[in-house]
Amino acid sequence: MEPDVVGMRLERDVAGLSEVMRSGPSPYHVWAVDLLGDIGGREAADALLHCVQQPDDHPRYLPLHALSTLAKLRDRRAVPMILGRLRSADERARTARMYEDLGDVGGPEAVRELVHRLGDPKPARGVVEAVARLRPPEAVPVLMAALWSLLPGDEMHTMEALRAMRDPRTGPALLFLVQSEGTSPQLRRAAVLALTDLPEDSWPPPAGWAPEVMLRRALRDPDAATARPAAALLARTRTGLNELRGHLVDASPRRRAADRAPSCAAVTVCALIQERPELFGEAEDERDVAALIDLLDEGSVPPVRRAAAGALGSVGGAAATGALLAALGDERIGDAVARALATLPEPPVRELLAALADTSRPGGARRRGAAVALGLLKCADAASPLLAALDAENTAGVRAAAADALGALRHEPAARPLALLAGDGEEPGTLRARAVHALGLIGASDSLPVLLAAVRDPSEPVRVRAARALGRFPVAEAADALGQVASGDASRDVARESVRALARAGAPGAHVLASLTERLRWDVARELITALAGCPGAGATAALARLATSPETEDLHLPATEALADRRSPECAAPLAAVLAAGPPAHWHGVALRALAALGTDEADAHVLAYCRKYGLVSEDRRAALRSVAERRAGRPARPSSHQ
C-alpha cells in the first residue's frame, strides 16, 4: 500500500516520514525527504541527519538528497559531511551539487572551503555561484584573481559574483576592465553595471589613472546599456561632469571630423541632461546651453540634433528657448523640437500661437511643429487657430498635427469638422486616420456613427484608429461592431486593436470578448486572453476556463491558466480544478495548483490535496502548493519556495 505522505505532511508526522525514507517505495522515499525539509525544525533535521549517517539503512543515493535538504535547512552539522564527500574521489561527479549545498548552509567552514576552491586554476562555476550567494568579504581578493584566470570567454559568472559582493575593493579592477581595449562588449557592460552597484560613498575608487578617464571608453560605447550607466557614474563628481561637458563640446559639427567625439557619446550625455537637468544649464554653466545649441546645427546628424533638442527643453532658459523656436521649422527634427518646447519650464506659448497663425511662410513645417507643441501643452487658447488649420488649403502635415492637437484638447466643437474629414474618401488615409483618432479622444456621442462607418473603411490605418476609438464608447452598438471586426477583419492589426478596444469598453465589451472564445481567431488569441484577464465577472472567468481546458486550444492552456490564477477569486476554484482534471499532468498544472493553494478556501484546498495524492509530489509546484495548505492549517505563514 502506498504511504499517505500528503497526510503526513499535513500532520507534521516526522516519524511517519522517517519510516517512509527507510522503507517506502520509490519515489515516496524521495518525497519524504523533501517534505521533511518543508517541515523543518530540529526533529525533521535529526531525521535527515540519521539518513545521511546511516546510508545502509536507506535506499541508494537517498542520503545524498537528504544531505542537500539538510543544507537547505542551514544545519551546520551538514558541513563536515559535505566536505568529506567533496574530497572523496567517488563523489567527483556530484561536486556541483555539493558546492550548491555549501552555499545553502553557509558558515565559516563552508566559506573557507569555497574560497580555497576559488584558487583552482579554473574555478568551477558552482563555486563562484555559491560565493556570490554568501558574499563573504574574504572572498573578494581570490574572486578577482579567479576573474583573470577565466579571461577570455568564461568570465561572466565571476563578474556577476563580483557585482553581487558590492565591495569597494573591486573598484580598481572593474575600472581597468572598463578601460581596457581588449575587454569584450559584454564584459565591459557588466563591469560598468558592477561599478554602479558599489556604495556611492566609495566613489571614485582609487586607480592608476583618473577614474573619469578610465570611463571614457564606456561613455563612447554605441550600446546605451553600457554608455548610460557610465554617464551616471561620471555625473557623481565635478571632474566627471567636466568630462561629460567636454564630450558635448567635442561633438560639435564645427570640430574636425578626426577630433570630433562620437555621435553616440553626445546622445548619451544629452539623455543624462534630460534626466538630471539640475546638474547642467545656465544656472550651473552657461557653456552647456551653448554646446547644446551647437549640436542643433544642421551639420550634426539627426539623432544628435534630436537629443540636443530634448536636453535644451530640460535645462530651459532664454537662450535654449530661442534656439528651439528657431529650429521649429526643420522637418528632420521638428517633432523632437516641438516636444522639447512643450517640456520647457516656461513654454513660449505666445510665440507658438503666433507661429501657428503665420501663413506667410511656405511649406508649413513651422506651423506643424507649433501645432504639435500646443497639443502637447493642451493649450486651450490654441483651439481656434487649430480649427482653422484643418482647412484643406493647408498641407497634410499641418492638418494632421492640428487634428492630433484638437483631440488632445478634447475640444468638442472640433468633432464636426473632424467627422467631415474622417469621412471624406478623397483625403489621404493617414490624414483621415488621425481625424478618427481625434474623434475618439473627444468622445462626442454624435461621432459614434462616423466611427462605426470608419471601422469598415477600405484604408487599414483608418480601421485601426477607428477600432481604438470605439473602445471609448461603452455602448452595445460599439461593442458589437468591434466583435464583428475582431473576428472577421482581414487585417491582424485591426483585429488586435478591436480586441484591446473591447477590453476598455467595460461591461458591453466583456460579453463580446467572452463570445469571441467560441469563434476563436488564432492570430489574436493572446490579446483575447489579456483582454479577458482584465474583465471582471463570471462570463470572463468561464471564457478563460474554456481556453484553459479545451483540447482544441492546448497552445493557450498556459496563458489562460495564468490569467485565471491572477484573478485570485474564490469563483475561480472550480475552473482551476477543471484545468487539473483536463488531461494528464502538464506544466501549466503547477500554475493552477499554486493559485488554488493561494485562495485559502476549503474547496480549493481539497482540490490541491486530491491532485497531490493522485499524481504525487514530483515537482516543486506540487510541494509548494501542499506547503501553503499545510502551513496555513498550522497557523503559520507559508515559507517561500527556493524556486519562486
Tell me: the pLDDT tens digits for 614-635?
Answer: 999 999 999 999 999 999 998 8
Q: Say what the pLDDT of residue 154 is.
A: 79
Confidence label for 85 from pLDDT (cuts 50, 70 and 90): confident
Query: Does residue 606 carry a pLDDT above 50?
Result: yes
Phi first, then psi: what are they for 234, rounded to 5°?
Answer: -60, -35
Query: Does residue 146 carry a pLDDT above 50?
Result: yes
**What's the mean pLDDT in 603-618?**
96
Write a three-state SS string for 233-269: HHCCCHHHHHHHHHHHHHCCCCCCHHHCCCHHHHHHH
Confidence label for 639 from pLDDT (cuts 50, 70 and 90): very low
Angle formed by the axes of helices 95-105 and 125-134, nearest 10°: 10
* From 119-123, 198-202, 537-541, 559-563, the region with the lowest mean pLDDT: 119-123
Q: Say what the pLDDT of residue 90 is.
A: 58
Query: Does residue 642 carry a pLDDT above 50?
Result: no
**What's the mean pLDDT in 523-541?**
94
**What's the mean pLDDT in 596-614?**
96
* From 191-205, 244-258, 357-371, 428-442, the region with the lowest mean pLDDT: 357-371
Query: Does residue 644 carry a pLDDT above 70?
Result: no
Query: Does residue 1 carry a pLDDT above 90?
Result: no
426-436 tens-digit pLDDT: 999 999 999 99
Confidence label for 525 from pLDDT (cuts 50, 70 and 90): very high
Q: Say what the pLDDT of residue 46 is.
A: 97
**What's the mean pLDDT in 585-601?**
95
- How far is C-alpha 376 from the geometric centre of its chain's CA atoms? 27
Residues near 281 by beta carbon (within 8 Å), at least 6 away in sequence: 288, 289, 314, 315, 316, 317, 320
Distance CA 50, CA 48 (A): 5
Query: Does residue 643 carry a pLDDT above 60?
Result: no
From the list 575, 466, 483, 475, the residue with the least C-alpha distance to 524 is 483
Confidence label for 88 from pLDDT (cuts 50, 70 and 90): confident
Q: Say what the pLDDT of residue 93 is.
A: 54
For the residues of 305-346, what is the DSSP string, one character each?
HHHHHHHHHHH--HHHHHHHHHHTT-TTTHHHHHHHHHHSSS
Map residue 393 onto helix, strand or coil. coil
98, with CB counted inside 10 A (0-12, 13-18, 19+), is buried
Q: Say what the pLDDT of residue 583 is.
A: 84
pTM here? 0.85
Confidence label for 636 from pLDDT (cuts 50, 70 and 90): low
Percent of the chain with pLDDT over 90: 86
Rounded to 5°, angle at Cα 163 from 83 and 158: 50
* From 293-307, 351-365, 552-566, the region with the lowest mean pLDDT: 351-365
Write a three-state SS string for 59-128: CCCHHHHHHHHHHHCCCCCHHHHHHHHHCCHHHHHHHHHHHHHHHHHCCHHHHHHHHHHHCCCCCCHHHH
Confidence label for 352 from pLDDT (cuts 50, 70 and 90): very high
Neighbours of 222 (CB within 10 A): 13
Map residue 56 onto helix, strand or coil. helix
Using an 8 Å Cβ cutoff, are 447 and 435 in contact? no
Average pLDDT, the chain: 93
Distance CA 65, CA 55 (A): 11
Distance CA 104, CA 11 (A): 27
**What's the mean pLDDT in 8-30?**
95
Provide the 8-state DSSP code for 177: H
468-524 tens-digit pLDDT: 999 999 999 999 999 999 999 999 999 999 999 999 998 999 999 999 999 899 999
**What's the mean pLDDT in 582-602?**
94
Task: State the amino acid at position 334 in one-letter form.
Answer: G
**What's the mean pLDDT in 532-552?**
94
Q: Say what the pLDDT of residue 5 is.
A: 97
Higher-pLDDT residue of 147 and 294 is 294
Query: Does residue 638 carry a pLDDT above 60?
Result: no
95, with CB counted inside 10 A (0-12, 13-18, 19+), is middle
**What's the mean pLDDT in 362-377?**
92
Terminal CA-CA length for the chain:
34
